[in-house]
Structure 1
Amino acid sequence: MSIGHVLLGVLSEGPAHGYDLKRGHDARFPAAKPLAYGQVYASLGRLERDGWVEVVETTSGGGPERTTYALTPAGDVELRRWLGEPEPAGPYAADDLVRKTVTALRLDADAVGFLRRQREVHLSRMRDLMALQRDEPHMTARIVIDHTISHLDADLQWLETAADRVATMGEAR
């Protein structure tokens, strides 16, 4: 996901400060790791450099300077272009979970124990997300949570398959 493009989407609803952009992002993706302020401001710098956002106001009312950003017409064109393009299907062949499992197997570490512990972490996260989803009133946030739950479910299936392979096939690499 392009953070910059998501910020363009937030700005399409109206001008905002960096703090408001972070809150807007985090509200849209409640199951994701909260966006860091540094990431917001770095992205805004790139968006401004590319001509997709502009500073419309800078104020300092006794505290830190607050800069308000707005979407430019070029930024709106870029946002629409991005929204119109499908994302490539991910390779998913070597995410951290797979890398750690393969490394444990190659080093004769306790891969079965790792897979079991990882399964518990995934199940706990799934329970947390399902509880969050029950209480979430916004359809867009529920869709984000659905996506995360689906990926956790796929990971759980993979964890079970991998554990079965390790148990039945041993260390055949």
Structure 2
Amino acid sequence: MSTPHVLLGLLATGAMHGYELKRAHDERLPQARPLAFGQVYATLGRLLRDGLVAATGQERLAGPDRTAYSLTEEGRATLDRWLGSVESPMPYVNSALFAKVVVALLVADVERARAYLIAQRRTHTDRLRELTALKTAPSVSVDEVVAADYAIAHIDADLRWLRTTLERVADWHREVRP
């Protein structure tokens, strides 16, 4: 995920201070890892330095001063370029699940590797049920449905891969131990 571009997109809806940006990020991308406040403010500092956002005022409520930021014309152009570019599929498999399965097959006996794959499949299936229930909950937002659909598609792909891997392990076990 490109945090700077997401923050630019959020600022395209209107000026916000760091706390509001963090809250908006976490609400609008509900299945994404929540942003840390430090990450928000560090990113805002870089966007300000690069002329993509401008400080538009300060307010003090009960705590420290809060600086509001808004998108500059250069920031809007950067956001438009980012939104207009197509994302390439990931060139490498970068998944803890994939790495763990490969290592389990490398160092564990076949039955232990199968047990891991089955347990992982159960965990994925449970999460799939949770996400499906979330989509049908009362007063669910379109952001939550879109995020759940995205997560469901990825979990479904993982489940298909786990099933294929279990079949391969079973075939391999039959070939090695007739």
What TM-score do you get using the length of structure 1 for normalisation?
0.90
Aligned sequence identity (%)? 47
Q: Distance in 2 between matches of 1:123 and 1:105?
A: 22
**Alignment map for 1:75-90 (pairs within 5 Å):** 75-90=75-90
Counterpart of 1:144 in structure 2 is 147
Q: Distance in 2 between matches of 1:94 and 1:114?
A: 19
Match status 1:132 vs 2:134:
yes
- Partner SS for 2:136: helix
The match for 1:6 is 6
What is the match of residue 119 of structure 1? 121
Unaligned runs of 5+ in 1: none
Provide the residue aligned with 1:34 in structure 2: 34
- Matched with 2:73 is 73
Indicate if the aligned counterparts of 2:134 and 2:140 stay in contact, CA closer than 8 A: no
Would you identify which runs of 4 or more consecutive aligned residues in structure 1 move more than 6 Å? none
Say which of 143, 146, 161 aligns to 2:164.
161
SS of the aligned residue for 2:93 comes to coil
Q: What SS does structure 1 have at the residue aligned with 2:162? A: helix
Report the number of matched residues. 172
Query: Which segment is superposed worse, 145-154 or 47-56?
Result: 47-56
**Which residue of the partner structure matches residue 108 of structure 1?**
108
3-state SS of 1:35 partner: coil
Deviations 1:123-150 (A, max 9, x none): 1111111111112543343222211110
| RCO higher in structure (CA 8 A, sep ≥6) | 1
Q: Is the 8 A contact 1:31 1:129 kept in 2?
A: no
Q: How large is the RMSD of aligned CA atoms in angstroms?
A: 1.9
* Consecutive unaligned residues in structure 2, runs of 5 or more: none
